[in-house]
Amino acid sequence: MTPKALLADVGIGLIAGYVGTKVMEPVSMALYAWESEEARRQEDAVRPGPPYEIAARKTAELLGAKLSEAQIRTLGTTLFHYGLGMSWGPVYTMLRRRTGLSPVAAGLATGAAMSLIVDEGLTPLLGFSAPNRAYPLVTHVRGVLAHLAYGLGVAGTVETLTWLGRRAGR
């Protein structure tokens, strides 16, 4: 792979990660709306807040930065929510380049890996959420499904941008 192709893959992956995050958000909200009142109450009772805001707050404290609540929300949304989503887009491009996976399989693998590693692993481990066992099963199912939608959004975006790039290069 040439440096130019690698940079293109990373750039397209970052854009696709942003789009994938935008796809994931309404899917997650729709799935949340379908949950029972009891499951929502249980989740809300144990959830310490949006994980990306908790990550921003803890990071600011670690760095000794004094940020307002508005700054914490902005940092959390931009860096930890969208930044994380964008950073996983190149995982998809790597899978497509290095494996024989189809776009759908690579997208689902990317979304599933992100769900397991970030949501189910790092987020509770780093204290950005309550422990996994505190949440109802439906919360975990929603997270996996939303991340699968993320992966499919990334796949669709990468494949479309790659196709457009090939067409423009003719």
Span 122-133, pLDDT tens digits: 999 999 999 999
Residue 68 lies in a domain: no
- Indicate the DSSP class of residue 76: I
Residue 109 lies in a domain: yes
Which SS3 state, helix, strand or coil, does residue 102 take? coil
Buried b (16+ CB within 10 A) or exposed e, 123-146: bbeeebbbeeeebbebbeebbbbb
- Indicate the DSSP class of residue 135: S
Residue 54 lies in a domain: no
Residue 112 lies in a domain: yes
Q: Which residues of the chain have pLDDT under 50?
A: none
Of the chain, the end-to-end C-alpha distance in Å amounts to 20
Residue 141 lies in a domain: yes
* Predicted pLDDT of residue 151: 98
Counting the structural domains of the chain, the total is 1
d(CA 13, CA 19): 10
Q: Which domain holds residue 140?
A: 3-49+86-93+102-165
Residue 124 lies in a domain: yes
Residue 62 lies in a domain: no
Residue 40 lies in a domain: yes
